[in-house]
Structure 1
Amino acid sequence: MSSFNRRSFLLMAAGLPLVAGCSFEPVYGPDSAATRLRSAILVDEPSNEDQFELVRQLEHRLGVADNARFGLSVALDINEAGVALTTDNRTTRKEVIGAGTYALRDLSSKEVLLSGKVDSFTGYSTTGSTVSELAARRDARRRLMIILADRITTEIIAKADTLPV
């Protein structure tokens, strides 16, 4: 171990007491607000393939509701646009742009407790065969639902301490 590495290690070790006193708490720590939300949110039933994938991802992250206290509704707005053209005006790449407007409500009072909007995009190539293009399109939409589910989950967990116990 060189002396430079030892100095770096010693400096890092000296800073650990400072980090320990910063009141950092893990999101899923014991008795945290996010832990109490696990399996307590019932996501509305999907009505199409995109919503099905979104619900699946949300249940994967938040847990399947076995004793639901909250309901979660998500309205999706998905659009596709060509973003790369050849010289003869053929689209070679498409972008899938999506937004999800969500509302978390108390199931007993029907009061909306949290709401917000998340958005993102993915893309896919249209230069292959018809079958490969369809597979790429489906995969891009699935990836978009994963991103939106992650963002919705992050926003709900970040505001979990404002929800009633």
Structure 2
Amino acid sequence: MSSSDRRAFLLSVLALGACGFTPAYGPSGGAGVLQSQVRLTDPVGRDGYLLNRRLEERLGRGGPSARYAMKVTPIVTQSGMGSTSRGLTTRFQLLGKAKFLMTDPVTADVLAEGEVQSFTGYSATGTTVATLAAERDARQRLMTILADMVVDRLLVAASGLPS
């Protein structure tokens, strides 16, 4: 690393510190109040399971004494995108939404709520087994994307949550 690159890096770090930037997972970051303190409702279906699994990977598993309760509802729609001259669909797009609601389990006050959305796609060229595997993988990718977006929203709101 050249000395001009080092200087630019150090100046950017100082600028971030001066503007009030605090790492979410740092000692004074807001994410600490969420770690293992969010109890998720039981998932419905495979999409719900995949979404909850990713949320637990990111936030930790909140037990019965967790400070927050959260319900996340995934909604997935599928549409054909490409087709052959014979009318067979060769490409599908999965559009996903995840509605989330975080409450205080004692008072039932709403602490955070919202909706995130994203999409992914998969190819239907090949055998039926390959197409089903591609769809399954695309759904898993979509649930990971949606869960990460929900966590990002919670991290932004974390500093305002009651501890």
Q: CA deviation at 1:9?
A: 3.4
Greater Cα radius of gyration, structure 1 or 2: 1
Secondary structure of residue in 2 paired with 1:159: helix
| Structure 1 counterpart of 2:49, from 47, 52, 64 | 52
Return structure 1 stretches of 4+ with deviation > 3 angstroms.
16-20
Secondary structure of residue in 1 paired with 2:57: helix
Counting aligned pairs with the same residue, the percent is 38
| Structure 2 counterpart of 1:86, from 84, 87, 107 | 84
The residue number in structure 2 matching 1:69 is 67
TM-score under structure 1 length normalisation: 0.90
| Structure 2 counterpart of 1:9, from 5, 8, 28 | 5
Q: CA deviation at 1:112?
A: 1.2
Alpha-carbon distance in 2 for matches of 1:9, 1:75:
46
The residue number in structure 1 matching 2:156 is 158
The superposition leaves residues 100-159 of structure 1 with CA deviations (integer Å, 9 ceiling, x where unpaired) of 111000011111111000000110010110111111000000000000000000001101
Q: CA deviation at 1:32?
A: 2.7
Per the alignment, do residues 10 and 78 of structure 1 end up closer, same or farther by CA in structure 2, a change over 3 Å counting?
closer
Secondary structure of residue in 2 paired with 1:42: strand
Contact 2:31 2:155 in 1 (8 A): yes
2:41 maps to amino acid: D
1:90 maps to amino acid: L
Per the alignment, do residues 10 and 71 of structure 1 end up closer, same or farther by CA in structure 2, a change over 3 Å counting?
closer
Unaligned runs of 5+ in 2: none
Unaligned runs of 5+ in 1: none
TM-score under structure 2 length normalisation: 0.91
Alpha-carbon distance in 1 for matches of 2:22, 2:10:
21
Alpha-carbon distance in 1 for matches of 2:5, 2:30:
35
